Amino acid sequence: MIAQARRRVPPATAIALAAALAAQLAWRLAEPAAPSAEGMAAAPSPAVLRLASLGEQQAMARLVMLHTQALDDQPGANTPLRQVDYAALAGRLGAALDLDPRSQYPLLAASRVYAAVDDPARIRTMLGFVASRFGEDPARRWPWLLEAQLAARYRLQDPAQASGYAAQLAAAGAQVPAWARQLAHDQPQPGELAATRAVAGALLQHGMVRDANEARALDSRLQALEPVRPDPGRRVR
């Protein structure tokens, strides 16, 4: 058996290794910071996405969603939603939904995240996306149209559009639970907070919110709508 004796490394080699490592670290530190966020490019064609997925279309749909989120949600480099190209965004959400029609992720992102922008045109783009994809699978997608109806009524102040969405929900018949159709029909509530509470409460009560992250986001949204109350411990001067 050949004994493997460890030889001492020549000092020059060790110094060269340390110097090369230091040079690499210095090079990376000296590089200018990456641009805040690349623009929201249009989604690749469905055929390209299917081919790239190697048969795992559902996994590719999640990757498209996470990449889309990353474009406007990079830590320290947030791109305000007002600067995002919403036509490209709707294309990406549509591509993700085409790859995995059973997923609710793109519709939730459209109705809860991207429709929360302070720009009526962009809100309409997202609500239009949700409404246009509702008819393909009303039994699974009605919660997002219910929320779109809420946004149309209170954020856009457009009762005609809200009534149109309520009519879409009603037309789906038994595929949408009776309580949801009733909730859409009964609105308006006195203010956005009350209406959002009513919808969120009903969704929670009927077990429609099963994901912990989704529940936390819903709670944060309700808290954000709460009017700011003066701190009782602080004396008002």
Partner 1 sequence: MNQCATIAAMTLREAARNRLHWLLLLLAVCAAGLAGLLQQLTLTETRETQALLLSAVLRLAGAGIVACFVVTSMVREAQDGSMQWLLALPIARPVWLLGRLAGFGLFAASVACVAALLCAPFAAMADLGHWTFSLLLELWLLAAFAAFAALSLRHPVPALALVAGFYLLARSTATLGALGRTRDGAATDGLPGGLAWALDALQLLLPRLDLYARGEWLAYGVRDSGLGALAAQAAIYIALLLAAALFDLHRKEVG
Would you give the binding string for partner 1 spanning residues 67-86, x where CB under 8 A is met?
--x-----------------
Residue 121 Cβ vs partner 1, minimum distance, rounded to whole Å: 23
Q: Which of 42, 44, 50, 197 binds partner 1 (CB under 8 A)?
A: 50
Q: Which of 177, 214, 221, 225 binds partner 1 (CB under 8 A)?
A: 214
105 binds partner 1 (CB under 8 A): yes
User: Under a CB-based contact definition with an 8 Å cutoff, are residues 94 and 106 in contact?
Assistant: yes
Residue 74 Cβ vs partner 1, minimum distance, rounded to whole Å: 12
Q: How far is it, in rounded angstroms, from Cα 117 to Cα 114?
A: 6
Rank residues 50 and 124 by Cβ distance to partner 1 and give the closer one: 50
189 binds partner 1 (CB under 8 A): no
User: Under a CB-based contact definition with an 8 Å cutoff, are residues 143 and 175 in contact?
Assistant: no
Residue 49 Cβ vs partner 1, minimum distance, rounded to whole Å: 10
Q: How far is it, in rounded angstroms, from Cα 138 to Cα 5?
A: 72
Structure tokens at 134: 């509702």
Q: How far is it, in rounded angstroms, from Cα 217 to Cα 229?
A: 21
Q: How far is it, in rounded angstroms, from Cα 67 to Cα 126?
A: 18
Instruction: Name which of 188, 124, 171, 127 is nearest 199 in CA terms.
Output: 188
User: Under a CB-based contact definition with an 8 Å cutoff, are residues 56 and 100 in contact?
Assistant: no
Rank residues 98 and 100 by Cβ distance to partner 1 and give the closer one: 100
Q: Which of 7, 102, 229, 235 binds partner 1 (CB under 8 A)?
A: 102
Contacts with partner 1, residue ranges (CB under 8 A): 47, 50-51, 54-56, 58-59, 62-63, 66, 69, 100, 102-105, 108-109, 112-113, 211-214, 217
